[in-house]
Each structure stands twice: as C-alpha cells, then as structure tokens.
Amino acid sequence: LENHWDEFLSALEGIEWTTQPNQVAKLSQDYFHFSPVLQPLLGEKRADVVVFPLNEAQVLRVVKACVAYKIPVTVRGAGTGNYGQCVPLEGGVVLDLKNMKTILEIKPGWVRAEPGAKLAQINKLASEIGWELRLLPSTYRTATLGGFIAGGSGGIGSILYGWLGDRGNFLAAKVVTLEEEPQVLELRGDEVQQVNHAYGTNGIIIELEMPLAPSYPWAEGIIVFSEFMAAARFGQQLGESDGLIAKLISIHAWPIPSYFTALQPYLLDEHHAVLVIFDQNAMEPLEDLVNEFEGKITFLSCRANKVLNLGEFTWNHTTLHARATDPNLTYLQSRFPSDPKLELVQRFYEHYGEEVMIHLEIVRYQGQVSPCGLQVVRFTTEERLQEIMGDLQNHGIAIFNPHTYILEDGGSRTINPLQVNFKRKVDPYGLLNPGKMRGWWEMGEEGGGVNPYL
C-alpha cells in the first residue's frame, strides 16, 4: 500500500474519505472495551483510511481499487458491535456505510432498505402503517440494519420471534463481491444465511429485505421481587403465557438494579427487578400474574403516562450501565437449556453470588421459552473468567464467548462451511475483515491452518 498510496487515493476521486487521525481512530473502534481480554488486543488497531460511499456505484469503485492494490476492507455500520467485529486488524479501508441509509420500500409485513438505515428510523416509518421490526438490539437508536444483520443476533422481540438466524427473520440481501470485476449478487431464502452474522467477512451488504411484525400498543413495566427465584420464575411464566403478549422480559438479580441510575425511583434496595414491554391491553392479566409470584409493580408507563425507554436497560445495555458504575465489571453471554423449573439458573445464582450476577433475557429458542444469560461478572483474571465459562458449559449451558473477536469462537464454536465457501467465491484474496473467520485459515491452504493475524 505504501508504494501505491497516492494512486489508490486518486482512484477514489469524487468519493468522500478521511485520513484525519482522530476520525480514523474513532471509526476503527467499537465497544470491545466491554471485555478486559479484548481491550489490549484491539485498542491500538487503526485503518489507513475511512471511506464513505453514497451508493452502489461508489461502493463498486472503492472495491475495485481495493482488489487492485490488495487492500483489506472492513465494513462499518454504527460501530456498536461489542466484540471488535468492525475493528480493522490489518489496517486498510474502513468502509463506513452511514450515508447509504435510504429506506427503499415499506409495506405491511415487509421492508427493503440500504444497510446504513438506523433501526429506529425504520421502526418510525413502519409504525406509521402499524408495523415494526420483529427484532431490535438494545442499541436500536444508533445501530444500522446492515450492522445488526452482520454483527448482531437478537434482542427485544426475541421472546416472540426468536433470532436473526432463524429462517424467515431475514429475507434477502444484495451483496457486493471483492473480485477484480466486483459482482452484485441478490441472495434470497436460505442463501442469506451465507452472510447472516458473518461480521462482513464474505460480502458487502448494500440492500436488505426484512419481515415486519404487527405493532401492539406497547406498555413498559417494572416489577420488583424480594426473592430472586420468584423474579426468574415470573419471567419464565410470562414467556410461556401464550395469551399474554410481551416483547421484552428482562430479569436482574440484585445488585444489578442498583446500576440503573435513572430507574432508582422505581427500584427497591436488595430487591430483584424484572423489566417488561407488553401489550397494554393485557395490564390486568399481567397484574394477576405478578400477584401470583408475589411481586410488586413499581412502574407502568400507561399509568404513569411516561416512558422510560426500558429497552435501553436490557440486553447488553445492562452491561453498559453496570460498567458505568464500576469499570471492573464485565460480562458473559450464555443460554440455559429450556427448563420450566429453572434448576440451573438457581444453582448458578446460589453458587457464584455477586461474582457472577445473574441477568437473564427470556427468549424463544427453537420453539421453546428459555433464559439467555448476560451475567455481569466481577473481573479478576482472564483465567478465572475462562474457568467460570468452562464451569457453565460443563453443566450444559451454551456459552457465546464475548471475549473473542473470532467469529466462530464467539458463536457456535464450529466452522460454518456455508459461510467459508461463500467467502472463497466472493473474496478470493481474503480482503474482507481479515483475521475474524477461523474457517478461512483452517479450511484452506492460506496460513497452513494457523491464524496469520495473531
């Protein structure tokens, strides 16, 4: 790149780009600092240039120049990923798609948009026709649609609709390849799984089609409990109540509620909290369920006539609030096996106490209601963190390790040949977000089975 830098930049003429060091530094980072393990590995990584294309034609021009000079390309949405997904390990170009944000078409049950469209923006437009996105990360105000698909997995709505990886939750994608003559492919049906949650390692998504869900008159509620297992069982029971529509059931063992500064008027000392978003028509049945589990409702948006944006205290926003109080706190991501008795939840609540504080999101997984754990951990050493994750795993709890930037190690821990083979076709030089896909160096000749980027 050094020898051809000027030639490369002149190939970008007419396209916005920057090499201004502060801007490049900012746009080379994301929220990996949630992890004390990732912080030293990624803190200094920088792109050489950040490019802001406006449309497909400009993306194609950037890609052509990058392939010609063999320059790595790391796509960026809003940079809210929490495992360094969009951090360029090998420098090169950060392709910031924030300007490609047009919502192209919207109709009942369906939307097609450019990748830089903010989720909140899509929802605003969809709400005008009585619909909304099925799934939202708690970062919905800033996160982009392309970034959510390529780097996220689920969130608010997962109790009703499951995960982004579930068939039907992502309908189609238009993808640009990194070949000498870049192609524009339309992936539909199961083909979309090739680029779904692939960290932008195997194609630049420039348009997406998503299903929408009917929008209810949603209400927010805060419910507190003196017994943690009563809070957990209430949440599980709410998830299993087929007649009660809720799109968020978020359970927090004390002292996690003490980290929610803005919610303090509605929280009680030494009490556990459940945050819910539910169909406000079901207020009375919800109150009956709360009474059954001896909880106490401290806030209802429909009664108080105000909203607290409770979604922004759940999922990984819980970790954000906890770390704002104590930066030594970090987190886990896990899924407990479906069990109406929640025996493993109880075991690990009692076993680790405040070293591993229990935060659960009740979700629908393969048709069953299960708790996902985003436990808040008092960090001591990396060895101890690994030991805790190993312990949970040995008890049948699935771990989605948030302390690695490698795609497969953070997810299923298995290489997905579908995604690796697609990368072979569309990114033959391995230029897209290099160093993130284990299957690329383990399944191929490159690197002889060893990660060349470590």
315 binding ligand FAD? (CB under 6 A): yes
- What character string, x for contact with ligand FAD (CB under 6 A) and - otherwise, covers 373-412? ----------------------------------------
420 binding ligand FAD? (CB under 6 A): no
Residue nearest to ligand FAD (CB): 147
148 binding ligand FAD? (CB under 6 A): yes
Give the torsion sign (CA, 430, 433, 435, 438).
negative
Give residues 174-233 in contact with ligand FAD (rule: CB under 6 A). Answer: 199-200, 204-205
Q: At a CB cut-off of 8 Å and minimum separation 6, what does 384 contact? A: none
- Choice between 109 and 165, CB closer to ligand FAD: 165
**Could you tell me which stretch among 75-83, 297-305, 322-330, 349-357 binds ligand FAD (CB under 6 A)?**
75-83
- Choice between 182 and 200, CB closer to ligand FAD: 200
**Could you tell me which stretch among 63-71, 76-84, 120-128, 364-372 binds ligand FAD (CB under 6 A)?**
76-84
72 binding ligand FAD? (CB under 6 A): no
Among 31, 228, 336, 400, binds ligand FAD (CB under 6 A): 31
78 binding ligand FAD? (CB under 6 A): yes
317 binding ligand FAD? (CB under 6 A): yes
- Choice between 293 and 419, CB closer to ligand FAD: 419
74 binding ligand FAD? (CB under 6 A): yes
50 binding ligand FAD? (CB under 6 A): no
144 binding ligand FAD? (CB under 6 A): yes
30 binding ligand FAD? (CB under 6 A): yes
169 binding ligand FAD? (CB under 6 A): no
286 neighbors 274 (Cβ within 8 angstroms): no
CB of 278 to ligand FAD, least distance (A): 18
111 neighbors 105 (Cβ within 8 angstroms): yes
45 binding ligand FAD? (CB under 6 A): no
Residues that bind ligand FAD (CB under 6 A): 30-31, 74-82, 85-86, 97, 115, 137-139, 143-144, 146-148, 150-155, 199-200, 204-205, 315-317, 320, 433
